Structure formats: structure tokens, C-alpha cells
Amino acid sequence: MTDPNRERYRIRETAFYLFTQQSLPACKPVLTPGWVITIFLFMGLIFIPVGLVTLRASHSVVEIVDRYDIECVPESSRIDKISYIQDDSIPKNCSRFMKVRKYMKAPINIYYQLDNYYQNHRRYVKSRSDKQLLHGRKYHDTSSCQPVELNNGQPIVPCGLIAWSLFNDSFTFIRERAELKVNRKNIAWKSDRDHKFGKNVHPFSFQNGTLIGGGKLYPKIPLSDQEDLIVWMRTSALPSFRKLYGRIEEDLDVDDVIVVNLMNNYNTYSFGGKKKLVLSTSSWLGGKNNFLGHACIIVGCSSLVLAIVFTLLHLKYRRPYGDTSYLPWNRKSLSG
Amino acid sequence: MKRYVYINENESSHELYCDNRISNRKYTVLNFLPKNLWEQFSRFMNQYFLLIACLQLWSLITPVNPASTWGPLIFIFAVSASKEAWDDYNRYLSDKKANEKLVWVVRQGIRKHIQAQDIHVGNIVWLRENDEVPCDLVLIGTSDPQGLCYVETSALDGETDLKTRGIPATCMGIDFELLHKIKGVIECPNPDKDIRRFDANLRLFPPFIDNDVCPLTIKNTILQSCYLRNTEWACGVAVHTGNETKLGMSRGIPEPKLTAMDAMIDKLTGAIFVFQIVVVMVLGIAGNVWKDTEARKQWYVLYPLEGPWYELLVIPLRFELLCSIMIPISIKVSLDLVKSLYAKFIDWDSEMIDYETGIPSHATNTAISEDLGQVEYIMTDKTGTLTENRMIFRRCCINGVFYGNESGDALKLLNAVAGSSPDVIQFVTVMAICNTVIPIKSKTGAILYKAQSQDEDALVNAAAQLHMVYANKNANILEIRFNGSIIKYELLEILEFTSDRKRMSVVVKDCQNGKILLLSKGADEAILPYAYDGQQTRTFIEVVEQYAQLGLRTLCLAWRELKEDEYQEWSLMFKEASSTLVDREWRIAEVCQRLEHEFEVLGVTAIEDCLQDGVPETIETLRKAGINFWMLTGDKQNTAIQIALSCNFISPEPKGQLLLIDGKTEDEVCRSLERVLLTMRITSSEPKDVAFVVDGWALEIALKHYRKAFTELAILSRTAICCRVTPSQKAQLVELLKSCDYRTLAIGDGGNDVRMIQQADIGVGISGREGLQAARAADYSIGKFRFLKRLILVHGRYSYNRTAFLSQYSFYKSLVICFIQIFFSFISGVSGTSLFNSVSLMAYNVFYTSVPVLVSVLDKDLSEGTVMQHPQILFYCQAGRLLNPSTFAGWFGRSLFHAIIVFVITIHAYAYEKSEMEELSMVALSGCIWLQAFVVALETNSFTVLQHLAIWGNLVAFYVINWIISAIPASGMYTIMFRLCRQPSYWITMFLIVAAGMGPVLALKYLRYTYRPSKINTLQQAERMGGPILTLGNIEPQPRSIEKEVSPLSITQPKSRSPVYEPLLSDSPNSSRRSLGPGTPFDFFQLQSRLSSNYSRNCKDN
């Protein structure tokens, strides 16, 4: 072989040449019964155990849920809950009893759950100013915070509907007359505390206006330490959500009765929302959620069923693969 | 309107006529932006995107950052605009080069070197050999004493042979020096684009001959962009300059062609738009109702009691913006990109390079490759397209002796030449010198012939191979080298060919013995009747008929010795006739007639116009692919039918049937049309190949008066032969089929096919011997007819399949994300909250989902070989089976299903304490991305490295990009992705989404693939399981059974290549010979008339 020939040969073999000729080596997978049945079998064999493990993890989570929004309104006021909750002169104290049915290992997360609460409403999610949360009053443009933007011409810190509607029920827990220690630190994301909420930003003119929304903030404490606010401002995408209130760092034994003293301040009555208190342990998968486990098992089972059906179909109706004599033009040419 | 050009008057014309500045530019620097934007915004899709982008500037309603629409929009516009600008800049550069070229122009009586753009009408321009002509000139002087010059007009009409141009009679003999001072007026028409006409007059002012007006024709002009050849110098008067030249006028920007697929995509876009409006209206109403009933109670939303007047509109507009991504903005860019890649694949294809000339195929129009896969009708030219247009001297009959069949007669011919048999030598001499061929000696010593007609070329070359070499032409002396000796002839007169006379003659004087000879060649009917009384011409008539039945072009050669005084007498008359002003052509013909009689007929030559390689196979394959063929030719009916038979165009009896539409009057045409239509209707159910034949005259009447009937015929008939049709009729026929909603492809090679090529949906030009004119006007240019098979079956089909997938996938992925947004709005108080953030939305549309699908341009559902073997599979493309409302509905359903899967799984797996907005949105987005990857993978038929890289690399890129964004503290997504990737529940959710989303799709696809396979599936299975596919069907051309011994004469059909004959005479030994079967008689007409030799291609130009 002469040199130019070899050169040409080499060029012909290069990837770019093959690309230009659309003849790059390709693998062409075919949906053969073997492959497809194997895939479904494999899927079934993966998902059923995964589902079982997931379900087990979910079941290992102990959870106590207590809805308190109706019970905590005195019988006399239940007809008109809205005026009850809006009346500041009435004390909102309330006590609830929770019975531990299963041993709960510390740390036990305390969540408050709101149902039918649209934190994802467009008007609501948009009404905040991330820059102001970080830089405080140095950042002037708070137009995104409408309609809770200014108070007497002074910018509100933190501005916006989300901060303004801060959840303000509070809970204390007593077990056998001794107060349970609730750790309310580190309930917010560390990244939020460090990078999203300013260390030198203090609340200013917050909840001072004519319209009082939810909770108040301590003007002396910088926003980065106001963890309730930080948690609240991580808006939820769903109308039912739980937010972390604190952690109990003691184990709870079976049949322990916990007395919860709470301040029922937050108004969910005007829109028919529910308030719940949740005590929950956690597993490697998070809180109690059977959905993933069930879904995995369903997918796994249906995969297995499909695999079996396909196998039976394949055994019963064996079809010669790729028989070109089935093509109409070939059939015609055979008959005619 | 006339224009008066005053020769050498420098000042007067400046204001009246433009200078010679050529401009092909579409834009100037100033109007570029507005004009380009205006053009871009005249498209509906762009208007839509602009409206959306403008609406997004209103922060009250915009769900996301306006940048997410403006960014891509500006990008898309910038890409289109810079492409336009670049093209325009290149045009400007080439214009500039032409404009600034230096030319010699007479100014104030002196020759000066000036730039071409400064030439004005009336200037005298001097050209040297091989110069390009800068503007349209009227010749007034050349270096040739007879006032002739040669020009190459290939840039103008695509014909590569040299043309002779002469100076007008009044300018004859003007001295070289005097030419500078010549004054006069040329009365010429206003600029037009007809390059075959120039009706003007020239009058010279004293002191030059001032007696009369001298008429000028196109023969006296040299036009812009031609080249001066074989002439030392020439000079002429500029009459048309700049963009007003014939070339400039015929230039035009052809209308952009829209493919059937584009039209379908537009239609589907429209449907999606309507759907979007409906969704927006429903959600808008629901949103307003919800707001008034529920949201007012929600104190934390703090709705004002009284809203502004436009309050009712706010929510619908928000949803409009939220749903605007239903129409993917990326589809235009993606489609443009892949289309240019399809075109590049055609350019690159090494199997479509014409190795004889080294010319690769080229896609001029990069936007219509999909249409190639949807062709239903192919209109083809004959000469040069189906045939090589390379005439090869095949046979001859001299004095009743046949030469040139397989029995080795060719040797006899060679022997006869060598043995100095006088008849044969005379015959070969006529072959060598009775022509207008110009021999050119190349540097290596080989002789090249420049001939105006291919037949003459063939004859001269054949003569040269028979040792009668036409070696040189020196003024009027012709040199012939014969067996080592040199014979000189003095060329006295040329009696040129006209289509009326059908013959040409030369009068030469043998320099050795001073004998004056008249040598003629011509069509049989133009020569044989003029044979001298005693000669028996019956044999010749039979021979001609015999040759014609073999599909050969015949010419009769004859000669006569002239007496000195007879010639002198005639010569005077001829000179007189040549200089008449009125009816010159007729007068000359009359004079010629006086000389051309009493011939001694020497013999008959037969020239074959070879079929191109692979034409029958190509036609058969494409025919099987369901494409109908029409042959539109300027040639004669019998020749056309012969060629049609030999290239599988029509089948011989009894399988095929030819129906003839003829007639000279309306009535006759009408009757014959009705009869044909009747037969056609009856036979349409039978498996018979029925074709109709129509000639130009009948076609004219049929198209004018019986358009409806003819249209019906056109639809019924799969094959048609239209002969003797003009270029405009070719275009009309294409128009007719187009109006019936057929996708037409026109293929041709010559200037006469340009109109048809431009008219058709797809124009294919063969860059053949007739030059590049057709190839330039065409959307695709290929070197050989057989490449058409590959162009359609491989490139067209793949392009269609790929675009079908790409466009539907683009809609699918946009719809998935849009449906998720819609579902989310139901759990967010129908308020129009966007689940996804701006960055993700933009990146999803522009990046994450565009890259993997772009590599689908490498996807091949079937290998090229399989498609070639089963061309019927093209049916899927023709019928638009892969992109139509029902396939689109499938994708629509899939997007709905996938959106439900992603949404339901996400909101349930991430409920309660995990329901943080940013996290949930990223879970849903990653779910979509995972599904996309698997959808593309499932729809890909062949995985190359690039596909793996794009599909799985894209998935990796998604995570990498989001990790990077998650690492930026200022971004809204800070730490989100790290957080998610650490959660086992996130990964379980992803696999759950993939399994639940793809499982049913896979199962359905498998069931359909196995138990209801489409033809494509069957072939795929066969291809991948069975190794080589059995060639069922009649892939190989059947041995043709039409070869039949019909010759009453001793000529036998060559059944195989003749080993002796071939290398002797054919100029390319490899050119395969098609056996041209004599047609079996057809029922409507007999082949009573011979295929007469039309030895010039002039009839093509009719």
C-alpha cells in the first residue's frame, strides 16, 4: 500500500469522516421479548424490595398528630370563632393532652401543621424582598413587598406578606409535671441563617401598622437569629404543610402523657384552615410517609405482572421476528 | 421604450443611465436592522413570542423573570440576523471585487485603465483574451479579420461550449486606430432579461459609413459575465450596465420554499395555540372565581376590596404567560440547526460524488430536506438527465456495408480506413471536417475539441480514433492528420445548421489538388431526397429506420464535388444573401438550397446517447417507493419512448400500455383525451403499467381547454411522457400537479429546465454537460441521475423521520412542563404561581431538553441498505405517517401522562415537612429531565457514541449546572440541589418517576412493536435479527425479455459488450451500454415512423 493510499485510508477511518457519512458505529437495541421481559422482571425485583424497605422506614417513624384549632376555642365562642380569635382581650391559653403510644426516640421533632393554607399563592410568594432580608434598610427597593411595604413612609423590615403573616402560636410541653426541654435552636437551615438573613438586620416598624397580621419579632434580635421567621419564610409549595417548631431531646416512653400548653393566637378560622401539632421521630427517609413505599410496591408488582403477561403472550403467540414476507409488497409479489 | 446609446459621448448618458456598479445586496448598513426585524416579525411565531415577551415586562402578571423569554428571543433573532448579515456581507464582497476590477475603456479618445464600476453607457470597452465581460456590449471590433470572436457563456446560460459572436456589418474593416474615435448611435431596447434576443440598430456617424441603419442581433453582443476566448482582443460599446444588464435583470431572489412538514408543524402550532387559549380562558375564569370566593377570606393574602379596572384580566394574562411555553421557542432554532446539518450531510456524502468530474452533491437550499422524503411525483428531463448527453459514435453504414456490431465489423472499419478504401476515407473525412468544431491544442499536445453540438463532438472524436485527426484550424486552413500525412483544406464557406434546413454543409478546397468539395451532413429527410438521380437511397432509408429503432441518433453524410465556376457564381449570391437586412435567414436558406443537391450519399452514422449509469435501477427503485415519474422532454416522441422503454420508465407490452393523446385541433385532442381517460379508468384496477404520451401541441390545447379532464388524467396516471414541450409547458405541468396537492420534484440539467426546477417543490439540477445553469437554479445539485435514489431514499427519508421526531418531541417536552404548571395552579389557589423558577424554565427549554434531541439527527431507524432494498418503506414518509395530527395526539397524551406522573409522585413524596417550594420545584424538574432522557433513549433507534454522550451527558450536565447554581449564595436555589442529592427519598422518587412514566410507554411500544408491527418495525427486526435480509421483491432488475430479433437487416442487437468494438470507439470504455430493446408494437400506434435523427439539440430549446 502506497503512502497516499494509507493516508486516505486513515482519513476514511477517522471519526469525523464517519460522522459526515452518518456511519458512526451504532448499536441498535431491539425490543425483543427477552429484553423487555428481563427489564420488567428486573424492575419488579428492584422496586418491591425498595418499596418494602421504604415502607418499613416509614412505619418505624412514630408520629402523634393533634388537631387543636377547634378544641382550643371555648365552647361559648365556637359559633363565632373569628371574633374570638380577633379579640385580643381574651386570653388564648389552651391545654392539650397527648398520649405516647409507642416509644419515641430523641430527637423528636415538633411540627405545627397548617391545612388549607396557601403559602404558594402568587400574591403571597412574591411579596418578599430577599435583598432586604439580607441587607436590611440599606436596601431601599422594597416594591416587591407590596402590599406590606411601608408604614408611615418608613420601610418595614422584614417587609412583605410572608413575614407579616408569621405564625404565632406557641407551645410548651410538660411530662409528669416537669417541663420537657424543647430545643428551638437550629430549626432553620444553616444556609439561610448564614447567607439569606442578615446578621445586622433588626426588625423595624414590624407589625406596627393598622393591620396586624401574625406574630411579632423581637426588635433587638437580628433576623439571622429569628429562626421562627426563617422557617416560616421557606414557603411551602403545598396547601398542607408542616413547619418545624423545635425538638424534644428526651426519649418519650410508651403511655407517657404529655401536656401541651399552647397559645392559640393564629387565625385560621376565617378561611377554614386547620391547625395541628405534630410530634414525630424521623428515619433515614425523613418523616412518616407511606406514599413512596406503596408506590414502589405497586410499580414493582405491576412490572412483575407485565413481565409474566408478556412471557405468556410470547409463549402463546410466537411470532417470527422480522419476517419480511409479512410485508404487503412482498406478499403481493409472492401471490402474483 | 427605446434607449439611444451615443457611442463615445462621455457626458450625455451619465444622468440617464446607471453606472456599472453591480449590487446584489439585500440590505445596507442603515436599513439592515429595521428591514431584517420587519422580515423576521412577519412570521406568526415570532409575533407571538414578541407579544409574550412584551407582556412579561408587566411585573404584575409575569410569573417569572422576563429574561427567561427575552434571552432566548434575542438570541434567536441575533442568530437569524447575523446569518443574514453574513450572507449579505459576502455578497457585498463579491460585488466589490467585480466592481473594482480594472478594465480598459476609451476616455477622451485614449485607452485608460479604470474600475469596472465606472463604465458608463456608450463607453467603448476593450477586452483581451480570457477577460470577463464587465457589462453588456455591442461588438464593434475584434482581432479576427472576419470580425468574429468566441465567448464562453457558461455563467449566463450554463452552456460550456464556445459561441461565435461577430461584429455588425458596418463596422467591418474599421481600422484598429480608428475604433477609438468611432462615433454613432445604437438604438436598443430597454433592459430585459431575455438572453436570446437583442433587437437593435446601429448607425455610425461620419466620417464612417453613414448610409444606412445596421441591424443588430444577439449575435453582435457579448453579455456581462461571459468570457472572451480564443480571440486576442475585442472591443464593444457598453449598452446596458450595472444591474440593468441581461444577467442583472434575470437575477432575482427566489421565493423561500416551505416544506409540507413546515406547513404541518405550523398547523399543529396553531392547534396548540387554540388549546392554549382555551386553557387560559378556563383557568382565568376559575382563577377569578376562586379569588372572589376563597382568596378574599384569606387574610394573609390581603386582597384589596377594590381592584383596578383591569383586575379581571390579570389572572387570565398570567396564565397566558404561564402557558406560553406550550409553543416552544426553541423549536425554530433546533429545526434550523438540524436542517442545515441535513444539507451538510448531503454535501458531505461521499457516495454522491461524481467521480468522473469530482463534483460532490450540493444542497443549495438548506431548508427543504424533509420534502425529499415526501416526493410523490418526479418530473424528469430526458437528455442529459436520464442520458449522459455524451454522444458516442456507435455504428455506421457506408455504401451498404455495416460497421459496428459485435461481429467485429469495427475492425473491418479500421482496416478499411487503413486500407485506403476511398469510400470509407471520404466518409471519415466528412466526419472530421464537416462541422464547426474548433480544435484546441493543450499543453501536453493532446487535441481538445470545442464543439457547439455533442453530435459533432462525437463524430470528430470518432474520426480521430479512426486515424483521421482534425488537428488544427488556422484561419481558414484546416489541417487533417491522416496516417502520418497532413492534408490541408481551405475552408471556403460554412452553410450553417438551422432547424428548418436540418442539415449543415461546408465548402472546402483541397489544398493539394485544388478541388472544391461540398460536404454535408444532416437528417435523413434533409439529405436523402437530394441525392443524385442514379443513387439508390432505399438501403439508407432502411438503415436509418433500423438504427432509430435501436434508439440511436442517425445522421446522413453526403458530398459533392463542385466546379470552380459553379462555386464562384454561388459564392457571390451567398455573399449577397448574407448581407441582406430583410429576411436574411430565409434568403440564405434559399441560396444554400441551390448548392445542396445532387448529393452523393456516403453513408449513415449512428450515435448513441448513452443512458447514464444506473438509471433503470434508480427509476425502478423509486417507482417501487411509490413515486410517479413523468418525463418532460423537448425531444421527439419516438426517441422519448425508446429512452423511456430502455430505462424502465414504461414497461413493454403486455405489461405496459401506452396511450397516445394527439391531434392538431381541439376536437381531435378532446376525443383522444376522453378515450385515453376512459381506458385509464378501466385499467386503473388492473396491475398494468399504463402511461400516456402527449406532445407539446396537444398539451397546449389540453391545458387550455380541457384542464379538468387533463388533471384527472394526471392524477390517474402514474407515468407520462410529454414530448416536444417547451420550458414554460414543463413549468405548467409542474404547477398542475402542485395544484392537486402533490409533492413534486423536478430534475433537469439544462437551461430549458430552469423554470420547471424553480416551479417544483424541490428542484434538482444535474451538474452535467449542459453546464451549471440548472444546478444553480436548483435546490439540490447532483452529479448523476442515479444519486437521486440516495438523495430521496436516504437523505430525504432520514430528514423526514428526524424532523418528525424532533418537532413532536419539542412540543412534548414543552407540554410536560406546561401541564405541571397547570396542575400546580390548582393547588396554589389558581393564582398563576409558577412552580419553577426563571432560570430553570429557561434552561429547560433552551438547554436541558434541546441538546439531547439535537443528536437525533444521527438516528437511523433502518440502515441505508435496507431502505434501498425495500424502497416501499418510503410510503411512511410520503403519506406523512410520522408527523400528523394523530401521531401528535400520541405525543400530547404522553406529555399529559408524564406530567401527571411527575406531579402526583412529587407532591406526595414531598408532602408536609418536605414541601418547601424550591425543593419541590427541583424535584419536579429533575423528574422531567429524567423522563426526557429516557423518552429520547426509547425513541432512538441507533445509538452512536454521540447519542450516549448527549443523552446521559445532558443528565449529568443538569446536575452539575444545578450544583453550581446551588453553590452561589445569592441565587434563590442556594444549597437546594446539594440538600436534595443527599436525601435517599429524592433518588427513590426519581427512579419511581422513571419507572412509572416509562414502564407503560415501554410496554405499549413493545406490544405494538411485536404484535402490531409497522412495516418499519418489521424491517428493523429483520435487519437486526436476521443478518442479511433475503431479497424478496424484485430488487434486481429482471432480465429484460424485450430483446427480440426484429431486424430484417443483418444488424443484430448487441447482447453483450463487444470486446473489440468498445475500446476502439467509445471514449470511455467503462460507460456501460444499455441494450436498447426495440419496442414491441403498442396498440394505439405503431412505430411506423423512424426515430429520425435530430442531430442538434436545438429542439430542446424550442
Pick the closest to residue A198 from A142, A128, A129, A134 (CA basis): A134
Separation CA A45–CA A32 (nearest Å): 20
The answer to whether residue B903 scores a pLDDT higher than 50 is yes
Give contacts of A211 with chain B, Cβ < 8 Å. 302
Average pLDDT, integer, range B516-531: 85
Minimum mean pLDDT among A192-206, B851-865, B1024-1038: which range? Answer: B1024-1038
Q: Would you call A238 and B943 a contact, using CB atoms and an 8 Å cutoff?
A: no
pLDDT of residue B296: 83
Minimum mean pLDDT among A137-141, B492-496, B551-555, B980-984: which range? Answer: B551-555
Q: Could you say which residues from 256 to 275 on chain A have a Cβ atom under 8 Å away from some Cβ of chain B?
A: 267, 270-272
The C-alpha of B913 sits at a distance from chain A's nearest C-alpha, in angstroms, of 5
At B198, the amino acid letter reads F
Q: Would you call B999 and A286 a contact, using CB atoms and an 8 Å cutoff?
A: no
Which of A240, A271, A314 shows the shortest C-beta gap to B297?
Answer: A271
Under DSSP, the state recorded for B411 is H
Q: Would you call A120 and B917 a contact, using CB atoms and an 8 Å cutoff?
A: yes
CA angle A85, A88, A91 (to 5 degrees): 80
pLDDT in tens, A120-138: 998 899 898 888 888 888 8
pLDDT in tens, B378-401: 999 887 788 877 778 878 888 777
CA angle A195, A201, A206 (to 5 degrees): 120
Using pLDDT thresholds of 50, 70 and 90, give the confidence band for residue B978. Answer: very high
pLDDT of residue B1041: 35
Which of A289, A291, A327 shows the shortest C-beta gap to B1018?
Answer: A327
φ, ψ dihedrals at A59, nearest 5° = -70, -25
Output the CA–CA distances (angstroms, integers) from residue B203 to B6, B199, B647, in the order listed: 10, 14, 55
Average pLDDT, integer, range B278-292: 92
Asked if omega into B871 is within 30° of 0 (cis), the reply is no
Q: Would you call A289 and B912 a contact, using CB atoms and an 8 Å cutoff?
A: yes
Do residues B848 and B932 make contact, with C-beta atoms less than 8 angstroms apart? yes
pLDDT of residue B248: 74
Minimum mean pLDDT among A63-72, B840-849, B1089-1098: which range? Answer: B1089-1098
Separation CA A256–CA A260 (nearest Å): 13
Mean pLDDT of chain B: 80
The answer to whether residue B449 scores a pLDDT higher than 50 is yes
The C-alpha of A333 sits at a distance from chain B's nearest C-alpha, in angstroms, of 6
Average pLDDT, integer, range B680-684: 76
pLDDT in tens, B85-124: 887 888 788 788 888 888 888 877 788 888 888 888 888 8
Separation CA B1025–CA B249 (nearest Å): 59
Average pLDDT, integer, range B122-146: 85
Separation CA B487–CA B552 (nearest Å): 31
The answer to whether residue A229 scores a pLDDT higher than 80 is yes
pLDDT of residue B1035: 36
Residue B933 burial (C-beta neighbours within 10 Å; 0-12, 13-18, 19+): buried
Do residues B628 and B719 make contact, with C-beta atoms less than 8 angstroms apart? yes
Q: Would you call B945 and A333 a contact, using CB atoms and an 8 Å cutoff?
A: no
Share of chain B above pLDDT 70, in %: 86
Separation CA B138–CA B4 (nearest Å): 13
Residue A23, C-beta contacts closer than 8 angstroms, at least 6 positions apart: none
pLDDT of residue A183: 92
The C-alpha of B1009 sits at a distance from chain A's nearest C-alpha, in angstroms, of 7
Do residues B716 and B742 make contact, with C-beta atoms less than 8 angstroms apart? no
At B601, the amino acid letter reads V
Output the CA–CA distances (angstroms, integers) from residue B625 to A203, B168, B655, B789, in the order listed: 78, 56, 19, 10
DSSP letters spanning B328-353? -THHHHHHHHHHHHHHHHHHH-GGG-
Separation CA B839–CA B846 (nearest Å): 10
- What is the Cβ-side half-sphere exposure of residue B164, based on CA atoms within 13 angstroms? 14
Give contacts of A8 with chain B, Cβ < 8 Å. none
Separation CA B796–CA A223 (nearest Å): 65
pLDDT of residue B543: 83
Q: Would you call B298 and A287 a contact, using CB atoms and an 8 Å cutoff?
A: no
Residue B708, C-beta contacts closer than 8 angstroms, at least 6 positions apart: none
Q: Would you call B915 and A20 a contact, using CB atoms and an 8 Å cutoff?
A: no
The C-alpha of A84 sits at a distance from chain B's nearest C-alpha, in angstroms, of 16
Minimum mean pLDDT among A317-331, B834-848, B918-932, B1031-1045: which range? Answer: B1031-1045
Q: Would you call A123 and B302 a contact, using CB atoms and an 8 Å cutoff?
A: yes
The answer to whether residue B405 scores a pLDDT higher than 70 is no
Q: Would you call B1009 and A241 a contact, using CB atoms and an 8 Å cutoff?
A: no
Average pLDDT, integer, range A12-36: 83
B290 to chain A: nearest residue by CA? A121
The answer to whether residue A217 scores a pLDDT higher than 90 is no
Using pLDDT thresholds of 50, 70 and 90, give the confidence band for residue B160. Answer: low
A-B C-beta contacts closer than 8 Å: 261
Average pLDDT, integer, range B468-475: 79
pLDDT in tens, B534-546: 778 888 888 887 8
Using pLDDT thresholds of 50, 70 and 90, give the confidence band for residue A317. Answer: confident
Using pLDDT thresholds of 50, 70 and 90, give the confidence band for residue B608. Answer: confident
Q: A47 at the B interface (CB within 8 A)?
A: yes
Average pLDDT, integer, range A257-261: 92
Mean pLDDT of chain A: 86
Under DSSP, the state recorded for A252 is B
Identify the helix (H) or strand (E) that includes residue B452.
none
Average pLDDT, integer, range B781-799: 91
pLDDT of residue B1032: 40
Which of the two residues, B126 and B1052, has the higher pLDDT score? B126
Residue B415, C-beta contacts closer than 8 angstroms, at least 6 positions apart: none
Q: Would you call A196 and B1024 a contact, using CB atoms and an 8 Å cutoff?
A: no
Share of chain B above pLDDT 90, in %: 17
The C-alpha of B789 sits at a distance from chain A's nearest C-alpha, in angstroms, of 16
N- to C-terminal Cα separation, chain B: 27
Do residues B691 and B719 make contact, with C-beta atoms less than 8 angstroms apart? yes
Give the cell for residue B1094: 435530430
Give contacts of B303 with chain A, Cβ < 8 Å. 123
pLDDT in tens, B1044-1082: 333 333 333 333 333 333 333 333 333 333 333 333 333
CA angle B545, B550, B552 (to 5 degrees): 80
Share of chain A above pLDDT 90, in %: 42
Give the cell for residue B1: 421604450
Minimum mean pLDDT among B306-310, B835-839, B872-876: which range? Answer: B306-310
The C-alpha of B719 sits at a distance from chain A's nearest C-alpha, in angstroms, of 20
pLDDT of residue B812: 94
pLDDT in tens, B45-77: 788 888 888 888 887 777 777 777 787 788 878
Give contacts of A113 with chain B, Cβ < 8 Å. 912
Give contacts of A239 with chain B, Cβ < 8 Å. 827-829
CA dihedral for B210, B211, B214, B220, sign (positive or negative): negative
Give contacts of A145 with chain B, Cβ < 8 Å. none
pLDDT of residue A290: 93
The answer to whether residue B1029 scores a pLDDT higher than 70 is no
Separation CA B242–CA B19 (nearest Å): 6
The answer to whether residue B479 scores a pLDDT higher than 60 is yes
The answer to whether residue A302 scores a pLDDT higher than 90 is yes
Do residues B167 and B195 make contact, with C-beta atoms less than 8 angstroms apart? no
Separation CA A198–CA B705 (nearest Å): 88
Do residues A81 and A292 make contact, with C-beta atoms less than 8 angstroms apart? no
Three-state SS for B1007-1062 is HHHHHCCCHHHHHHHHHHHCCCCCCCCCCCCCCCCCCCCCCCCCCCCCCCCCCCHH
pLDDT of residue B1040: 36
The answer to whether residue B79 scores a pLDDT higher than 70 is yes
The C-alpha of A75 sits at a distance from chain B's nearest C-alpha, in angstroms, of 23
Give the cell for residue A29: 437495541
Pick the closest to residue B316 from B353, B296, B289, B356 (CA basis): B289
B913 to chain A: nearest residue by CA? A242
The answer to whether residue B990 scores a pLDDT higher than 50 is yes
B875 to chain A: nearest residue by CA? A329
Q: Would you call A327 and B1015 a contact, using CB atoms and an 8 Å cutoff?
A: yes
Respond yes or no: is residue B87 known to be catalytic.
no
Pick the closest to residue B200 from B182, B221, B181, B180 (CA basis): B221
A49 to chain B: nearest residue by CA? B988
B986 to chain A: nearest residue by CA? A285
For strand B762-766 and strand B744-748, is the pairing parallel, antiparallel, or unpaired? Answer: parallel
N- to C-terminal Cα separation, chain A: 51
pLDDT of residue A296: 95
Minimum mean pLDDT among A7-11, B47-51, B128-132: which range? Answer: A7-11
Mutate to test the interface with B, among A123, A127, A195 (most CBs of B within 10 A): A123
The answer to whether residue A322 scores a pLDDT higher than 80 is no
Catalytic residue among B161, B381, B409, B695: B381
In this prediction the pTM is 0.80
The answer to whether residue A332 scores a pLDDT higher than 70 is no
B315 to chain A: nearest residue by CA? A122
Separation CA B525–CA B614 (nearest Å): 34
Identify the helix (H) or strand (E) that includes residue B57.
none
